[in-house]
Amino acid sequence: MENLTVGNDTSVQHNHTLGVWTDHTVEYKVASVFLVSLICGAGIVGNVMVILVVLTTKHMRTPTNCYLVSLAAADLMVLTAAGLPNITDALHGQWVYGYAGCLGITYFQYLGINASSCSITAFTVERYIAICHPIKAQFLCTLSRAKRIIMLVWALTSLYCVMWLFLSDTKKLVYDNVVLVSCAYKVSRSHYLPVYFTDFAVFYVLPLILATVLYGLIARILFLNPLPSERKDSSKKWKRETGREGRMFGSSSSSSATAASRRQVTKMLAVVVILFALLWMPYRTLVVVNSFLDKAYLDTWFLLFCRLCIYLNSAINPVIYNAMSQKFRAAFKKLCHCGPQRMEKPASYSVALTYSVIKDMSNGESPDHFTTEMDELNTPTDQYLTTGMLPTTKKMPYEDPSQSGSDIKA
């Protein structure tokens, strides 16, 4: 991110004079500090909540959510390593964190950016395997494998970003009326541009191309065709196990719930990818355009707009989870101790029967793709099972459907 600030420095560093330095206007300082503080502050709180609810809630520890934790950690790194220098730059007009701060902050900025891109790519591939290849998902989309992939992603990106420690340095900018310190590239433009374009291609262009192709294949399965082997396989299994109409009815109900859950989770993750593409586009486009211009376009307000888009991309993901995932919404409320607290759900015979439906309908996917057992208790299946198949069993109490609803996994 700092190259947005120092791009002009590298283009004029060979000149003998930099002219007269003028400070930022009051309007710019107020707008910059207020907007950056608001977006980064909200983003830090939201991403911390995402990490906490997944780590402290057992049923939230799923492969997909592990990738979302990795994305939240990367977004936290971007918000802190890029947001704070932006505020001090607006207030002081120069670099105030010294040489070590220049190296460290630049390193963590790029580490957070690249790790977030890799995390998005990882959960995109996981969604593709889970939806389009459910048999392979039995051993590929597991919690332990997701953890290993995340560790590998962070290890590789950490090593890759070491190069920025050798490309950054502090420089003194001598103006006619003041001497300022900046955090800039210590190599010439011809040397760092190839490195930057490689970074741009690997961590922006290629992930978006891959996401476009994979989500296209996923959409074809989820929205244009029945889920692979879901109807036929589940029908055959249930016909072998029993000929009772009650269980066949439960199979159909569970099938539709599973399909709805998969669609909702996939929509949510697709929104994350789309916003990543759109909110990073102004900054990426500016860098590409400036690379071919003799004099870089560095309008102060447009640079602020580009930075705000990047901060917003890192801050908006928890809002998406809360809006599109009932599980995350309920977990956020529980973490904040607001809203009605769910009581421990009682066990009943119908719970076990419903779980057997879900197990057979899972197609070997990881647990985050299943609907919870108690979700089916609010359907006619439960009434049939408790009144038709278990006539001597009294129906157990359950939550008000208006409060529970269908449980969407994320």
58-62, 240-244, 284-288, 318-322: range with lowest mean pLDDT: 240-244
Is residue 120 predicted with pLDDT exceeding 70?
A: yes
Where do the domains of the chain lie, and which CATH numbers do they carry? 2-231+259-335 (1.20.1070.10)
CB atoms inside a 10 Å sphere around CB 14: 7
Question: Among residues 77, 2, 10, which one has the least CA distance to residue 296?
Answer: 10
Q: Quick check: 72 and 50 in contact, CB under 8 A?
A: yes
Question: What would the mean pLDDT of 315-336 be, rounded to a whole number?
Answer: 92
| pLDDT over 70 percentage in the chain | 70
Tokens of 186: 């210590």
Q: What does the angle CA 135 – CA 139 – CA 142 come to, to the nearest 5 degrees? A: 115
pLDDT digits (tens, 9 = 90+) for 259-273: 677 788 889 999 999
List the structure tokens of 380.
Answer: 């006619």
* pLDDT confidence of residue 406: 37
Residue 277 has what pLDDT? 95
One-letter amino acid at 39 equals I
Position 3 scores a pLDDT of 43
Segment 203-221 shows an average pLDDT of 93
Q: What is the pLDDT of residue 16?
A: 53
pLDDT of residue 341: 52
| Overall residue count recorded for the chain in this entry | 410
Instruction: Say if CB 108 and CB 27 are below 8 A apart.
Output: no
pLDDT confidence band for 228 (50 / 70 / 90): very low
pLDDT at residue 54 in the model:
94
Quote the mean pLDDT of the chain.
77
Residues 22-42: tens digit of each pLDDT:
888 899 999 999 999 999 999
pLDDT above 90: percentage of residues in the chain = 45
Per-residue pLDDT reduced to its tens digit, 277-305: 999 999 999 988 888 888 888 899 999 99
- Non-local (6+) Cβ contacts of 37 within 8 A are 83, 87
User: What pLDDT is stored for residue 282 in this prediction?
Assistant: 94
> Which residue would you say has higher pLDDT here, 399 or 323?
323
